[in-house]
Homo-oligomer: A and B are copies of this chain.
Amino acid sequence: MTGRARIRQRLARLREALERARVDALLITSVPNVTYLSGFTGEDSALMVTGRQSVLITDSRYTEQAGAECPEARVHEHRQGLLGAVTRLVRRRGLSRVGFEESMPHGWYVELRSALGARRLVLQGAVVERQRQVKDAGEVGAIRRALAVGESWWGRRRRLLRPGRTEREVAAELVYAMCRSGAQGEAFAPIVAVGGRASLPHARPGGRRLGPGRPVLLDWGAAVGSYKCDLTRVLAPSRMTARFREVYGTVLEAQEAAIAAVRPGVTAGSVDAAARRIITRAGYGKQFGHGLGHGVGLEVHELPRIRKRDGTILQPGMVFTIEPGIYLPGRIGVRIEDMVLVTDNGCEVLTTAPKKPAHRK
Contacts and interface: CB of A to CB of B under 8 A. Distances in A.
Interface string A197-211: 001111111000000
A61 B103 contact: no
Contact of A59 (B168, B171, B189, B290): B290
A187 to B, nearest CB: 11
Contacts of A101: 107
A107 to B, nearest CB: 3
A201 B110 contact: no
A170 to B, nearest CB: 10
A162 B42 CA distance: 28
A204 B184 contact: yes
A289 interface: yes
A42 B289 CA distance: 16
Nearest to A105: B103
Nearest to A185: B189
Nearest to A178: B172
Count identical subunits in the complex: 2
A109 B102 CA distance: 9
B60 A289 contact: yes
Contacts of A65: 200, 202-203
A205 to B, nearest CB: 7
A179 B189 contact: no
A148 B301 CA distance: 32
A126 B110 CA distance: 14
B109 A202 contact: no
A105 B107 contact: no
A168 B182 CA distance: 8
Contacts of A329: 64
Contact of A185 (B109, B175, B200): B175
Contact of A179 (B176, B180, B182): B176
A154 interface: no
A62 interface: yes
Nearest to A41: B204
Nearest to A180: B172
A186 interface: yes
Interface in A320-356: 327, 329-330
Interface string A117-144: 0000001011000000000000000000
